[in-house]
Every structure is written in structure tokens, then in C-alpha cells.
Amino acid sequence: MNRFPLSFSSLRARWRAGLPLRYTMMVVVVVGVTLPALLLLTLEQELAEKSQKALLAQSETALMKIGSVSIAEPMWVVDRVALDAAAVRLLESPQVVAVRIEDGLANTPELERVRPDYGKTLATETAAGSLTRRTQTVVRSGEVLGTLVVWFDATYGQGLLQARRSQMLSLVALQVLAILAVLMPVLVSRVLRPIERLKEQASALLDHGQDSTVDRARFVWRRQDELGLLGRHLGRVQEELRTLFGQLGTKNAQLQQMAFYDQLTGLPNRALFIDLVQREMLQAHRSQQQFGIFFIDLDRFKAVNDSMGHAAGDELLIEVARRLRDTLREVDVVCRQSGDEFLVMVSDIDHWESLGEMAERILRVVEEPVQLANTTVRVSASIGIALFPEDAQDFETLVKHADIAVYQAKTLGRARYSFFHSELNFRLQASLELEQQLAHAIAHGELVLHYQPQVDAMTGRLVAVEALVRWQHPTRGLLLPGQFIGLAEESGKIAEMGVWTLREACRQLADWKARGIHVGNMAVNVSALEFRDHRLLDSLQAALAASGIAPNELEIEITESVLMAETETSQRIIERLRQLGVGIAIDDFGTGYSSLAYLKRLRPNQLKIDRSFVNDADVDSDSRAIVRGVVGLANALGLNVVAEGVETVEQQAFLRESGCHTLQGYYIARPLAVDALEVWMAARHNKETA
């Protein structure tokens, strides 16, 4: 009782939820085709049954009539044989089951014939309705002879109807099958398959149109029906999505690039670097390994940036970044920390000394000349190295210690590397102190100038003295420039120091002149940094004015690094110096980035051959060749040549023979305090006159 409504409701639920299309189609076909056919069949059956009933009734009546007529004669003549034959004839009719002839006059015996194969009782079967009993009065010549009783098979004709029904049923079934056979392929090919494809296409849309493995050709629609239109539409949506997602992808990549990479150099930025270093820390911790952090700081980058412009500065940074990347190994990570500072993580090292070799390599590649616009620039770098886990166990401290090591490298004179050690902290403290003390030193007159003679190579006559600064430190004794010039440049004190040096040197020269002591010209060193400052000219003119010495008695020594970043300011200063008639000497000539072009443009008065060539002249034929070459060049340009660092008589002989004009060095005299110089001069004078 319960099952039907249950399955019906579940069917209804499934219908609501949406049967698969192919089942829906099948249900529609079966219901739409079968139901009308079955209805028709029932109606037709009913009609057939009705008409058959009428026909049977007619034929039964006819049989009764004929039967009664055929037995009238035998009954009349009381011919039992003929009567029997007539009854048998009647029984031959297929629908007749039994025949009885009853004699109305009762003089003829009753006759009853039943079909031999009929085994049931007539009375009960008649009562049950499976037999129809009919009677007919037998009349002859107006006289009633008896009654003919016939039992007809009530079910006769049912078999025919049954056969007809099953024929019709199979016909209907055939029809449904035929329709399904024709309709389903059409449905499948025209509707179901395209819908299936649309489904796939729509799923492909969900892949954000990014999945390149999706075969686009599969979704080309040629059909012109509604599904085809929908498919093409989907295709366009897909294309659009693909471009949209493509753009989104690029945007994402750009964002990623911006978030983790330096825009200028394309190197990882600090954020990404921190992440990578922290990972390396875990890794190194597990495997008990070391790695190093390099803090690389370009020396005097600010000067290039200020003098040549930011575009040139940027170009320089890009080039340095490229060189760093090219020099380092795959496993190393280089990042731009900020400005001209770079951080490098050097992992996978076998011993810490190899970090030094790596730093050395970096220093070398950074120092290679860089072509910027029309100028060749050379920069150097200072590198501080901190070791994990010895120097620090966390990122911030590790970098801080590397930074301290850089500072150390800078105070040691730049263009070098330095390891962080805890004792470095101490030294750093010391140099910080020194830096602070330097400010007082200038004001408190702790700076002194020593003077080193320059003599004519041939005659030995004193032609000039070079002023070299010293710091009479209250507790540390006499400090040489190498111990504090770097600090002075770093802290900006160099300008103040320069002003003092110029004034003091000029004052001293004037003092000697006033006292009749002839030392020749006064050479003063001016640091490259000072050459970027317009105030240099003012202080120089002030020094000349205050001392009253002639401009041509003063010589300014500049190193090639000034010319390296030849700027408008430095050019103007040099131009003004020449106009004033102040001499210009190129110091340490041959060690820098000599370009003959600037010699021609600048027209210095003299070249000072670097000490290293003079020193090596004894042993190295290349150095000898360089000295001769410089002398030749200077002669061709009409410049004076000074050889620095002459320490031996052999060197003096070689330099004389090579044609050097002026000699300076310990062999002639060390840098001397004023008194000492005067004593030295007096001694020489005595020797000459003796």
C-alpha cells in the first residue's frame, strides 16, 4: 500500500531536482507515444467486442432458427435418426456446446447431445454465465411440436479478440521502439552531445581560461542553431576571460616584482632577502654550516650622483648590480638594501677564508671602469662581512654587524673588505671617538703641517715643499693622514680641514719669505671631495689674500679620482685655478684611470709619478718603462714630472737618467716639521757651501 505513493513522491522529487536530459527525453517519448496508442487500443478493443457480440447474437439466433426448422420434420415424423443427425449438425457449429430437443407432446423422447469434449455440467455452467442457454419453439404447420434448447459457448470469440489485442500491442511497442530508434540518435547528435560539449566548455571557463592544456579547437562551433550560437558566445566569453586573466597574471607578476624586487636593479629587495636569509639560517642551523653576509657600500657614490646627476647614478647602480650578480655563484643571493648599499648572502662555504676571496673578487669587478654617458667612471666598494652563526644568530644583528665591518673597512681607507669581530666593535668605538675629536682638533690647533722637500733632479736645488697634514693627538701621539683623512671625508670635516690646511700652508710660506728663507713653491693636497665644493675657491682666494703670496707660488695636488667624476663644479674650479695662475699637479699619476683626453683638456702643470713605480723601478722593467713613458708624455705636453717616493740612490740615478725634472722622497728628505725643515735647509746650504 505504502510503496506506490513513496516511489511516486521520490520520482516527483527526482523530476523536480532534474532528471538527466536523456532520461527526460526517453520519458517524454515513452509517455507521449505509448499513452495515446494504448488509449486507441482500448477504444478499438471495446468497439470490436461490441460488434462481435452483436454478430454472435445474430448468428446464434440464425442457428436457433435453422435448427428448429431442421428438426421440425423429423419431430413430425418421429424419425429419431434424422433428429439425431440434425442435433449433431448443430453441434458442428463451433460455438454450440450442447443441444436438447424437448418434445412438447411428450410422446417423443427427449434428446440431448453434448459435445463429447465438454466435461462440465450444463446447469452449473449456465448459472456461472460461461454458457448461454437459448430456447426455440419448434413449430410445424402451426402446431407446436417441442422446444429446441441450445447451449452456446459464452466465451466463444474471446480468443479472437485476445489474439487481436496482442497483435495491436506488439504493433504499439514496435511503433515506440521505431520512434525511439529514430528520435534518440537525432536527439543525441543534435541536442545531447552539443550540450555535453557546452558543459565541458563551461567547465573550461572555470579554469580561468589559463589552462593551456585545454584544446581550444575542441570548442569551435560550426553549427548555426541555438546551441551553436550559445557555444560561440561561450567561446567569446572564454577568449575575453583568457585575456582578462592574462592581464591579471601580468599585473600579479608586476605586483610580485614590485613587492619583492628592487625596481631599479631588478635585484631582490630587503623584504625578500630577509626571507631567504632566515630560511638559510634554519637550514644552516640544521646542517651545522656557516654562511656569510656581505654588506657592500660603494665608496663615494654620492659624489657621482651629485655631480653627474641621478640618471648617471642609477646607471652606475644598475651596472654594479649586474656585475655583482655575474660574479656571485648561483647559490648566493644579492639584494639592494638601499641607495648604494647591497647585501649578499654567501652560503655553502667550506671555510670562512673563502669569504675573503669572494670579497676580493667583488672588489675587483666593482673597480672595473664603468662607461656612463660620455664619461668613464671608476668607483670602488667597501665590504663588511659578518658570519652566521658566529657573529649573530638573527638577521637584524647579523646585518648590523656586517654594517659595522663596512665602517671598519671605510676607516681603513676604503676599497677593501673587513670582517666583523667583537674586537672590531672596540675599534669602531675608537674611530667614532676619533671622529668626534677631529672637530676639536681643528679648533684647538692640534693639526700641524709637515713639509716634504721637492728638489731639482739635476741640480738638487729646493724647488718646492709639499704640505702634509698631521694630527698631534693629545693621547695617541702624532697621527698620519691615513689614520684620519678617511674619517674626515666620511664625516664631512674634510672641508674644514682643507680650509685650515690652505690657510696654514700659505701663511707658512709667507712667513718663510718674510724671513728670507727660500723654499720655492708650496704644494697643498686637496681631497677629491673638496673639489665638488664651490667654497674651495673662496677659501683658496682668502688664503692667498691673507698671506699675500702670489698664486703661482701655490700648487694644488689632486688625485685622478677628481677627474674620474669630472663634474661641472670641478671643471669650473680647475678653470678658475688656471685663470688665477695657481699650479695644478696630478698626484699619484698612473694608479688611476688615466685618460689622455683629460690631460689635454686640463693642462696641469705637473704630473707626480706614483711612488709604486719609483719603488719598483729597481726590480721591475715594466715600472721602468712606465716611468720613461710618463716622462715622454709629460715632455710632449710640456709638463713638469715629479717622481715621488725616492728612497735610494739607485732610484735617484735612474730617475735622473730617465729625464724626471723633480724628485721627492725619503732619500732626499722625510716630511719635516717647520723647525726641522729649516735645520735641513741650513745643513744643505752648509754642505753646498762647504
Nearer to ligand C2E, 180 or 542 (CB): 542
Min dist CB 528 to Ca ion, Å, is 12
Nearer to ligand C2E, 269 or 652 (CB): 652
Only segment of 38-46, 290-298, 519-527, 530-538 that touches Ca ion (CB under 5 A):
519-527
Dist CA 79 CA 309 (whole Å): 154
Nearer to ligand C2E, 337 or 615 (CB): 615
Residue 492 in grid coordinates? 664631512
Nearer to ligand C2E, 385 or 494 (CB): 494
Residue 527 in grid coordinates? 681631497
Residue 78 CA to chain centroid, in angstroms? 126
Min dist CB 418 to ligand C2E, Å, is 20
Q: How many residues bind Ca ion (CB under 5 A)?
A: 5
Min dist CB 590 to ligand C2E, Å, is 12
The binder of 526, among ligand C2E, Ca ion, none, by C-beta within 5 to 8 A per type, is ligand C2E
Min dist CB 559 to Ca ion, Å, is 8
Residue 315 in grid coordinates? 646607471
Nearer to ligand C2E, 314 or 647 (CB): 647
Other Cβ atoms closer than 10 A to 199: 10
- Per DSSP bridges, beta strands 521-525 and 462-473 are parallel
Single out the residue of 315, 403, 553, 588 in contact with Ca ion (rule: CB under 5 A): 588
Nearer to ligand C2E, 72 or 564 (CB): 564
Min dist CB 253 to Ca ion, Å, is 53
Q: Which amino acid is at 190?
A: R
Nearer to Ca ion, 26 or 633 (CB): 633
Report which DSSP code applies to 163: H
Single out the residue of 340, 504, 566, 587 in contact with Ca ion (rule: CB under 5 A): 587
Min dist CB 592 to Ca ion, Å, is 11
Min dist CB 534 to ligand C2E, Å, is 17
Nearer to ligand C2E, 21 or 480 (CB): 480
The CA distances from residue 247 to 124, 203, 251, 577, in Å, are: 96, 21, 6, 60
Name all contacts of 170-177 with Cβ < 8 Å and 24+ positions apart. Answer: 172/34, 172/37, 172/38, 172/41, 175/33, 175/37, 176/29, 176/30, 176/33, 176/34, 176/37
Residue pair 280/248 in contact (Cβ under 8 Å)? The answer is no
Residue 109 in grid coordinates? 423422447
Enumerate residues 546-565 that contact Ca ion by CB under 5 A.
Answer: 557
Nearer to Ca ion, 298 or 469 (CB): 469
The binder of 666, among ligand C2E, Ca ion, none, by C-beta within 5 to 8 A per type, is ligand C2E
Nearer to ligand C2E, 501 or 508 (CB): 501
- Binding of Ca ion by 530 (CB under 5 A): no
Crossing angle of the two packed helices 301-308 and 310-327, in degrees rounded to 10: 140
Alpha helices for 267-374 (secondary structure H): 270-287, 301-308, 310-327, 353-367
Min dist CB 437 to Ca ion, Å, is 25
Report which DSSP code applies to 392: -
Min dist CB 600 to ligand C2E, Å, is 24
The binder of 356, among Ca ion, ligand C2E, none, by C-beta within 5 to 8 A per type, is none
Name all contacts of 366-369 with Cβ < 8 Å and 24+ positions apart. Answer: 366/296, 366/298, 366/320, 366/323, 366/324, 367/415, 368/323, 369/593
The CA distances from residue 177 to 20, 30, 181, 615, in Å, are: 20, 9, 6, 114
Please measure the distance between the N-terminal and C-terminal CA atoms of the chain and give it in whole angstroms. Answer: 151
Nearer to ligand C2E, 200 or 511 (CB): 511
CB neighbour burial string for 153-167, b if at least 16 within 10 angstroms, e if fewer: bbebbeeeeeebbee
Residues making contact with ligand C2E (CB under 6 A)? 452, 467-469, 480-482, 485, 501, 525-527, 557, 587-588, 611, 645-647, 665-666, 671
Min dist CB 591 to Ca ion, Å, is 9
The binder of 313, among ligand C2E, Ca ion, none, by C-beta within 5 to 8 A per type, is none
Min dist CB 320 to ligand C2E, Å, is 26
The binder of 482, among ligand C2E, Ca ion, none, by C-beta within 5 to 8 A per type, is ligand C2E
Enumerate residues 12-41 that contact Ca ion by CB under 5 A.
Answer: none
**DSSP H or E segment with residue 14:** helix 3-17
Report which DSSP code applies to 529: G
Which positions touch Ca ion (CB under 5 A)?
525, 557, 587-588, 644
